[in-house]
Structure 1
Amino acid sequence: GDGQKLSLNAQTNGSAYQYYSVSFQEPWLGGKKPNSLSVSFYYNIQTNKTYYNLHPENLQTAKVAGISVGFGRRLKWPDNYFTLYHALGYQHYKLDDWLYRSYIRDITNGSYNNFTISTTFGRNSVDNPLYSRRGSEFSLGLELTPPYSLFGNKDYPSLSDQEKYKWIEYHKWTFKARWFTQIWGDLVFHTKTEFGYLGYYNKKIGYSPLGGYRVGGSGMAYYTYGVDIVGLRGYKDGELTPSDGANIYTKYTMELRYPVINSESATIFALAFAEAGNAWHDTKTFNPFIMKRSAGVGVRIFLPMLGQLGFDWGYGFDPQPGEIGPHGSEFHFTMGQQF
């Protein structure tokens, strides 16, 4: 009766992909203040097994299990819209000859562990989560792993990847902000900006093969793991990610939105957008003035039984490696709301 939420999720397409998760959220921990407690667990197994590849000697597998516990509280200062959220997380990766649909770098075999501590400071004054007309939302997040390499005397350049990355280490900084402005009637102007950076503690180890970014496309995860998915419409999924991995990204979005149907049973709105963004491997190659640009139109449909569905057409203005002219048209499908 206090808004507790229990979620069970199972996805599969047979033996090639299976995903299971359980999560629980208590929004009023203690019953008096809006302090939230959340617990989640997931298990994911992927293989390259298809109708065309059933031979055991060619089998590749990736198994990932994770658990997280988080605590959030609403702040009274500077105002009641501010929140602070802390979380502990642990992921275990087990890879066997994993190359199929792999978006992580360097590691294809072995067991790897990722223990994280994260804090997110945010503010949300958006008036309506389904069709927002006014308000703003921002978040500043820091995710850390313990700096294991600083406590030992290992010769990291001489270690194998399995030994070097047995316990993943990094620090990750994320900033996101968006604004909603009511122009006239129900016509809304939406702007958004994002920035992410994955750093390392030890130059001898360098950037972590897990925890980076995959930029471009719809922003849906599909078969990916070990990276944060960043959508940029008008380009293919992950297409803007450097071949040696993305550890920095920026993204800017402008949208005009107008509701077609806005009722308790359904919310549908049309939009026109312009986006720009890019991804870089390191700070030496980072250049915030080199952007991949796109524009297009789309529609968002919210149904209580299905959640939010999105359909977009985008046109990429900038060529990718090997292309001569503009990248051209791309269609995108999304499920769920995205910050």
Structure 2
Amino acid sequence: DKSITNLKNLNLFSNVKMQMQIVPNSKNNTLDLNWVVSENRNSEFKLKGNFQGKDLLGEISLNINNFSLLNCFHPNNLKIIPYGDNQKVLLDFTIGKKLKKYNFSFIHPNLTDSSSIKFNCFYKNELTKEDINFRNLENNENYKINKFKSTIELNKKINENNNLLFNINYINKNKIYKDKTLSFSEKSKIYKDWNSQLIFNHNSISPDIIFPNKGGYVNINSFLEFPKSLNKLKTNKFEYFKFQMKSFLYKKIFKKLISKIGYEFGVLHNSNKNDDFKQFYMGGTSFQKENLNQTNFIPLRGYYEPNKLYGVISPKKGGSFYEKILTELRYLIVEKNSFKLWLLNFFEAGNIFDSYKNFNPFQLKRSIGTGI
């Protein structure tokens, strides 16, 4: 029964009432069980239209499940859509007068028994308005944004609790302005980036993520951005580097009282001294998108949110090092089905430093509080 349930959950077979064929093996006194199944061709095609402002957009989406890239080259499987290897192909197109988007993804979830691979390619062309009349042009719709992004991602499941992810990304974004003849010809490159990321995750939290009472969580993230040109590669091996580690440990003290202990540390190197957007910022619990990079925002309860205009805890131009410790005591008051209510007491301490010379692991901003 368990084997049948697992096969059903794969969503790969249309015939779930399987006929078992027993093949005896007289050499080692065993039986080979052959399951006769029918593959499920569960592809999906969507076509729709909608309005974005005054612009009419047409959207086309094709989702192919149980795809087989290998069967594309097999002479006996020359079909419109070859199936059989549990691969996924996603195609999305959005076409309008001012906006065009194209997205392609290929996912192989079973590259090996414990690893998967994903390839994604995205292109966007958008006609956009400036907030002010740029270059005194009468037509305010005066530039296009072109964005291209491609990603290759490898995911390795080490065991039940540990996972390793590696990806390589390329991003190219530029503006194309209208010249005096109102034709799009003047190009201005605003962003070009090669980067790579390596992430290790450990998650043994149980029984759930809402109110865990045992286990731990560890995230180790390293990010490397390569120089934007070969000339810079001679002087700088990398443009930007970031390393972060987060860890939490949950322990049941007695029946409804749970403790949580956490530690975070981060360090980065930014070759572009004028680019403070990629620096670390700390403080508060909410994130202000207009000011900071969300991935580099470090919450710290009891303090104001960071703002690059006046800094607060963080230096005005952000920091290159940070450290944070956390302890919590949680007491479960109400538990009914998925609803849980608990009393929380916390102590946090952390700080950000603008250089390694000023880094002091004992010079931390502290906060203490309680709540429900």
Instruction: Tell me the TM-score normalized by structure 2.
Output: 0.54
CA contact (8 A) 1:187 1:257 kept: yes
Amino acid corresponding to residue 145 of structure 1 in structure 2? E
Q: CA 1:94–1:179 in 2, change beyond 3 Å: closer, same or farther?
A: farther
Distance 1:282 1:64, change over 3 A: farther
Show CA shifts across 1:20-53 (max 9, x none): 9x99997x8129845455678799x9x9x9xxxx
- Of residues 183, 204, 214, the one that matches 2:253 is 183
The answer to whether the aligner puts 1:282 opposite 2:355 as a matched pair is yes
Cα RMSD (Å)? 4.4
Change (3 A) 1:25 1:289: farther
Q: Secondary structure at the match of 2:219?
A: strand
1:220 positional shift: 3.3
1:126 shift after superposition = 1.1
Correspondence 1:235 to 2:283: no
Instruction: Quote how far apart the aligned CAs of 1:135 are.
Output: 0.8
**Aligned residue in 1 for 2:97:** none
Report the number of matched residues. 247
Letter in 1 for 2:340: T
Identity of aligned residues (%): 23
**Which of 158, 171, 194 is the matching residue for 1:115?**
194
Aligned with residue 136 of structure 1, among 197, 203, 216? 216
**Where do 5+ consecutive residues of structure 1 fail to align?**
4-13, 15-19, 96-108, 157-163, 300-339
Inter-partner Cα distance in structure 2 for 1:222 and 1:110: 23
Give the secondary-structure state (helix, strand or coil) at the position aligned to 1:284.
helix
Q: 2:165 aligns with which of 40, 64, 85?
A: 85
2:203 corresponds to which of 124, 133, 149? 124
* Conserved? CA contact 2:193–2:228, under 8 Å: no
Distance (whole Å) between structure 2 residues aligned to residue 272 and residue 155 of structure 1 = 52
Conserved? CA contact 2:276–2:317, under 8 Å: no
Question: How far apart are the structure 1 equivalents of 2:218 and 2:274?
Answer: 27
Q: C-alpha distance in 2, partners of 1:88/1:190?
A: 34
How far does residue 230 in structure 1 lie from its aligned partner after superposition?
0.8
1:173 aligns with 2:243: yes
Q: Deviations over 1:234-293 (max 9, x none)?
A: 011113220122221111111111223334342333311111101111112222221111
**Unmatched tracts of structure 2, length 5 or more:** 1-8, 12-52, 54-100, 135-139, 176-187, 307-311
Structure-1 residue corresponding to 2:85: none
Q: 1:319 aligns to what? A: none
Question: Which structure would you say has the larger RCO, counting Cα contacts within 8 Å and 6 or more residues apart?
Answer: 1
Aligned position for 1:197: 267
| Bigger Rg, structure 1 or 2 | 2
Deviation of 1:209 (Å): 3.7
Deviations 1:165-191 (A, max 9, x none): xxx821111111110010111211001
